[in-house]
Amino acid sequence: MSDLLELSLDDLSAGFQRGDFTHSDYLRAIEQQIADVEPAIHAFLHVDSSQTRDSARSPEASGPLAGIPFAAKDNIVAIGGPTTCASRILAGFRSPYDATVIQRLKSAGSLLVGKCNLDEFAMGSSTEHSAFGPTLNPWDTSRVAGGSSGGSAAAVAARMVPFALGSETGGSVRQPASLCGVLGLKPTYGRISRFGLVAFASSLDQIGIVTRTARDCAYVLSTIAGHDPHDSTSSTDAVDDYAEGIEDGVKGLRVGIVAESLNGLPGSTRRNFDDAIAVLRSGGAEIVEVSVPSMGHAIAVYYIIANAEASANLSRFDGLRFGHRSTEPGNLKNLYMASRGEGFGAEVKRRIMLGTFALSSGYYEAYYGRAQRIRAMMRADFAHAFQRIDILATPTTPSGAFKVGEKVGDPLEMYLSDIFTAPANLVGVPAVSVPSGFDGQGLPLGLQLTASHFAEKLLLRASHFYESQTGFYRRRPPAAETSWSS
Amino acid sequence: MNIELEEVKRIAELAHIRLTDDELPRMARELSVILDYIDQLSSIDSGTFIESAATSGTPMREDEARPSLPLDVVKSNAPAFVHGYFAVPRVIGGE
């Protein structure tokens, strides 16, 4: 039975059709895996199997996602269960509607089995900022799963679901995907509707996808991408068939590397990256050195812009209309201040404070204004680079998963783990992290590929080539093994 | 950049977040460290670049009346709801 958990979406469709196993068989295997593995990982904040079990018997839809269970980060709303954003301030909140992505997946026959853990309001790189405790890494449960979509990445890595949705503001899908040894895609800004995604930083936020393989990711992206009248920032550009031509390889592709960004990397990360580049070269890709001078400023720019936008977006959590309301007596302003002071965790407070400071009178120009201009400079740098190259390659993270507690007391150190991922959000381009093997301690690392706006198809094609050459996605983390596993 | 305690209190007031006596000095320290890092941007010549939106243009739609959330759904999430309204402390004529 455990073999079912290793099957790709194509293999599952074929198996359902041939009658090798039923949708109910598959859902039972998934539920059993969650029951066995979840207690050691804490990938989920909420699991709901009762309603999915009924709909699994005979999905009405057909296609690669019909009857396929999935999980979603708990900042994406779905009818029927709680949406907490891993925050106390949303205690008791139940969404009256489905996010567009949830609704599209349900229409395709997919079954939402649970909501995944995250750093509170998606603010963090380890899920240690969840009000409900961290998600642990399936490769080593003394280490973090990354974040903020750590629950989504760990759930896929530990074979508890074949795919999961996350969200990205500065690397929150790619970084945990890399740390957990799975594939994470951040599509182009505007490619996927954000209706029903709780807003963090509206000029950066994008829903992302976690899978084991590029082809599985292509199926999910084809299903959820596209314009939505409920989200005016969603693009009206036509949606590709992302799986079409995915086997076409990398021959003739120009892959850029940025030499200055690789200085100072730990040796094992550097060797891992060089090996990955060698694989692309062996497939006929042309490796080109490029310079993206502004890339090194991404974290500083990111923490001004993201937090400025967060300070505005999170003003809606005021204890009046939903969520936590303080019982402390006092006037309206006291009620706001007490409800937010009690409801938000330390990292969320820190970021709202930083964003409020950057927008406040006397500091706006020196911080927010300047950060926006440097962001425009980064866009120009990337556009310039993409005239010479098709894909930009970097490591996804400077190192493998860190220990629980290692960085949580040092906010800046934590922020710097997003140094390779934040640029794509600031520039709005798509980027993917593909499992690229392991460091000296056996912890997964990731290869990050970035392309120009709306070039997801190219990214998934290159990812497919790389993963089929290396096969790292087949490796199963120790925590995913159960007593009856083969 | 060193952030003083008084400055933290001013920002917390603007942000509508009550910080405890323990939180205030820690926040001052942490914000100072983060702003020191961010101050690397002050040396960058961003030349002729100007602030711009993340996307090129926002598509418009017809401004049509559409149904809102049913009252009972709104009520079910509300911490205090009276006669079809969110109940809040007195705003006018209070203290």
**pLDDT surpassing 70 at residue B61:** yes
Nearest of A232, A206, A209 to residue A220 by alpha carbon: A209
A chain contacts of residue B52, beta-carbon cutoff 8 Å: 372, 376, 379
Q: Which residues of chain A have pLDDT under 50?
A: 1, 485-486
Whether B91 has a pLDDT exceeding 90, the answer reads no
The answer to whether the CB atoms of A92 and B77 lie below 8 A apart is yes
Distance in angstroms (rounded) separating the CA atoms of residues A288 and A292: 13
Which DSSP symbol is given to A367? I
Closest CA to A277 of A478, A60, A437, A75: A437
- Are A374 and A311 in contact by the 8 Å Cβ rule? The answer is no
Residues 1-60 of B with CB under 8 A from A: 3, 8, 11-12, 14-20, 23, 27, 30-31, 33-35, 37-38, 40-42, 44, 46-47, 49-55, 58-60
Alpha-carbon distance B21 to nearest alpha carbon in chain A (angstroms): 12
Q: What is the pLDDT of residues A417-435, one digit of tens each?
A: 899 999 999 999 999 999 9
Q: What is the pLDDT of residue A133?
A: 98
| Statement: residue B57 has pLDDT above 80 | no
Q: Which residues numbered 71-90 in B keep a CB inside 8 Å of some CB on A?
A: 73-74, 76-80, 86, 88-90
Mean confidence (pLDDT) of chain A: 95
Task: Indicate the pTM of the whole model.
Answer: 0.96
Instruction: Check whether B55 has a pLDDT greater than 60.
Output: no
Can you give the pLDDT at residue A73?
A: 98
Among A54-63, A71-80, B36-45, B73-82, which is the least confidently predicted range?
A54-63
Max alpha carbon distance in chain B (Å)? 58
CB contact under 8 Å between B33 and A204, yes or no, is no
| Tens digits of residue pLDDT in A150-198 | 999 999 999 999 999 999 999 999 999 999 999 999 999 999 999 999 9
pLDDT digits (tens, 9 = 90+) for A277-302: 999 999 999 999 999 999 999 999 99
A431-438/A444-450 β-pairing = antiparallel
The Cα A259–Cα A480 span in angstroms is 37
Report chain B residues whose CB lies below 8 A from the CB of A304.
38, 41
DSSP per-residue codes, A402-430: PBTTSSTT-HHHHHGGGTTTHHHHHHT--
Count the neighbouring beta carbons within 10 Å of the beta carbon of residue A261.
Answer: 18
Distance separating alpha carbons of residues A286 and A291, to the nearest angstrom: 16
Residue with tokens 């706001």: A336
Three-class SS of residue A142? strand
Asked if residue B94 has pLDDT above 60, the reply is no
Cite the beta strand spans of A309-421 per DSSP E: 391-395
Q: Confidence band (pLDDT; 50, 70, 90) for B10? A: very high
Centre a 10 Å sphere on the Cβ of residue A440 and count the other Cβ atoms it contains.
12
B85-86 and B81-82 as β-strands: parallel, antiparallel, unpaired?
antiparallel
Question: Is pLDDT of B95 > 70?
Answer: no
